[in-house]
Amino acid sequence: MKIDFSQKPKKSLGQNFLIDNNIIKKIIEIGEINNNSTVMEIGPGYGSLTELLVNKSPKNIIVIEKDIKLYKLLKEKFITCDNIKILNKDVLDVIKKKNLNKNIIVYGNLPYNISTKILSTLILLKKWPPWYHTLILMFQKEVADRIIAKTNTKAYGRLAVLSNWRLVVKKHFDVSNNCFFPKPKVTSTVLSFRPIKNNKFKLKNPKNLEKITQLFFSNRRKMINKSVKKIFKEDKLIVDNLNINLKQRPGELKSEIFHNIACQYEKLFG
């Protein structure tokens, strides 16, 4: 695919465009698109992924591009496609909307500066199961490593705990920095996510989990007893029921423990 990169890439919008056709094809294949699918793309840029999505002939395609110039180029490029809706919006506003179709397959070579914000917004949606069926997203490798990190590793922290709460995460492959223009400094990784429809730890206000993980992991090297005390004061019954060793550090606790703590916190304090 030959793209005329007619304007200077904007760093502020995380513009690193994919230029490797094999990688683009591999990403598209992950989603198992059929004629009945609705597909969304976050940040289509010049439309290199979008083109292949169109070739798969899904029922509907929604693409969201914040850059007005790229939006105009996309409007021109896909002028003959009647199943594509091109929005000049901020994706963070669109994904919170209540009127989105169900079962959408979401693609995104994400703008790196807001990639974790996009993911956490998709996890913390009030309505669950959510409107999306699958997320197929590319992150900087370092961020992807934090998302899939296991307990007792350096990368394990808030992102893994949040992701494990509502999503099943799968790593697909790494993408060399040579596959982009302009070339970023780091390697990227493609992950996919499926919502867990019936997770054990339900929260009325998912932000409570964010609050809890923030509290614990801002004291990563300290034993958890202080954080637990801060939340539950001296309520021994609750602490006993959590079944945790207060001498452990946050990185040693499985994700479910944090999910449980958030539930107990919500029961007590709303």
155 touches ligand SAM by CB under 6 A: no
90 binds ligand SAM (CB under 6 A): yes
What does the per-residue mask of binding to ligand SAM show for 106-125, with x meaning CB under 6 A? ---x-x--x-----------
- What track of x and - describes contact with ligand SAM for positions 39 through 68 (by CB under 6 A)? ----xxx--xx--------------xxxx-
Among residues 21 and 248, whose Cβ is nearest to ligand SAM?
Answer: 21
CA dihedral 66, 180, 2, 45 (to 10 degrees): -10
Q: Considering the complex, state which of residue 121 and residue 151 has its C-beta at the smaller distance from ligand SAM.
A: 121
135 within 8 A of 193, measured Cβ to Cβ = yes
Count CB atoms within 10 A of the CB of residue 125.
17
* Nearest distance in Å: CB 10, ligand SAM: 7
Q: In the chain, which residue ranges form alpha helices assigned H by DSSP?
A: 21-30, 48-55, 68-77, 91-94, 115-123, 141-147, 158-166, 207-217, 225-232, 236-242, 255-269
Q: Note whether 252 and 216 are within 8 A (CB).
A: no
Task: Identify the residue among 14, 206, 250, 251 touching ligand SAM (CB under 6 A).
Answer: 14
* List of residues contacting ligand SAM (CB under 6 A): 13-18, 43-45, 48-49, 64-67, 70, 90-92, 109, 111, 114
